[in-house]
Each structure stands twice: as structure tokens, then as C-alpha cells.
Amino acid sequence: MPIGTGPGRPFSGWGQRDVRASDADRERALDMLRQHTGDGRLTLEELSSRAENAYQAQTLGELDALVRDLPPTGPVTVTRVAKGVVQPMTKRGGRFRYTIFRWGILDAACVAIWSVTGGPNHPFADFWPAWPIIGGAAWLSLKAVRRAEREHRAANAVGPFAAYRRQR
């Protein structure tokens, strides 16, 4: 494989240098340029010039010319976290657990209101908090299934952009 082609160079190789570039390709090139600017390989003036050329690029070959003199950016490596280290809520699964916690608080509040307003001693002793509990459980179950499907699709992604899909 010639230098500057292959998976490390997303805009060349696979015989697609003359293929017209999409907006997503241009954004990917800009992300790479921003990363290299942050690493100190490009100055802000170079970034500005290359960004302007990226927005005007018509083909993948033109986009490749913008990043050809830069080292390839591989997939982001994931580091293991020591056991017992607290992860921020934005990490995988944190927001879902927080959502479950919030729904649990709301359900407990409904049961508390029901018991304070008469509970089983009330003439109409219907356990009305069951409806928000059942609705919340159904909604959380649907959310969990959709999340599992999304993770399954990302884990089984194939093609030149599979590593990018797995990062999100």
C-alpha cells in the first residue's frame, strides 16, 4: 500500500481519490486538522488556511492533500480505569443510572403522597401510584432496549469508519 493510504488516511486509498467529498468528509478532515493544531503540529494560521481549503474541496483527493503531511490519527485508545475510581456521570451508563434514580424518587414521592392522603384507609382505596410506576418502568425498559441495540450496532460495525462508530 503506498504511503499516505489506508485506514490511517481516511481520504485516500481504496481507489477513491476522485470521488466527490461529502459534508461529513469535510467535517472529518476539519476534526483531524483541529486535533493536530491542538497537538502543536499546525499553527492557527495554517489551520485557518487548511480549513478554508477543506470547505472548498470537491474530491477526497483534495481533502487528503490537506492532511498528507501530518501523521495519521488512529482510533482513540481506551484506558482501563482502576477499580473503585468514580467515573463522571457522562461516562457510559452513568446517565441511564441517573435517570433510573430520578424515576425511583418520583415513584417514592407518589407512594408517599398516596399514603399521606389516606392510603388504604381511604374509601376509594385504589393504589393510583401504580400507574406512574408501570408507565415509568415501561419507558425505562424501552430506553434500555434501544441503548442495547445501539451498542450492538456499534460493536458490530464494519467498514472504514467502524472505529469512529465504536468511539461514540
* Domain map (residue ranges) of the chain: 1-74, 94-167
pLDDT tens-digit map of 10-65: 565 545 778 888 888 888 888 888 888 888 888 888 988 999 998 898 988 888 88
What pLDDT band is residue 158 in, cutting at 50, 70 and 90?
low
Residue 3 has pLDDT above 80, yes or no: no
In this predicted model, what pLDDT tens digit does every residue of 68-79 receive, in sequence order? 888 876 554 444
Give 37 or 159, the one with higher predicted confidence.
Answer: 37
Return all residues near 11 (Cβ < 8 A) that are at least 6 apart: 17, 21, 25, 29, 60, 61, 63, 64, 67
For 11-48, letters b (16+ CB in 10 Å) and e give bbbeeebeeebeeebbebbbebbeebbeeeebeeeebe
pLDDT bracket for residue 105 (50, 70, 90)? very high
* Residue 113 pLDDT greater than 50, yes or no: yes
Provide the pLDDT confidence category of residue 109 given band limits of 50, 70 and 90. Answer: very high
In whole angstroms, what is the distance from residue 92 CA to residue 166 CA?
12
Residue linked to cell 469512529 = 164
pLDDT digits (tens, 9 = 90+) for 131-148: 889 998 998 889 888 888
Q: Locate 156 and state its grid cell.
A: 458490530
pLDDT at 159 over 50: yes
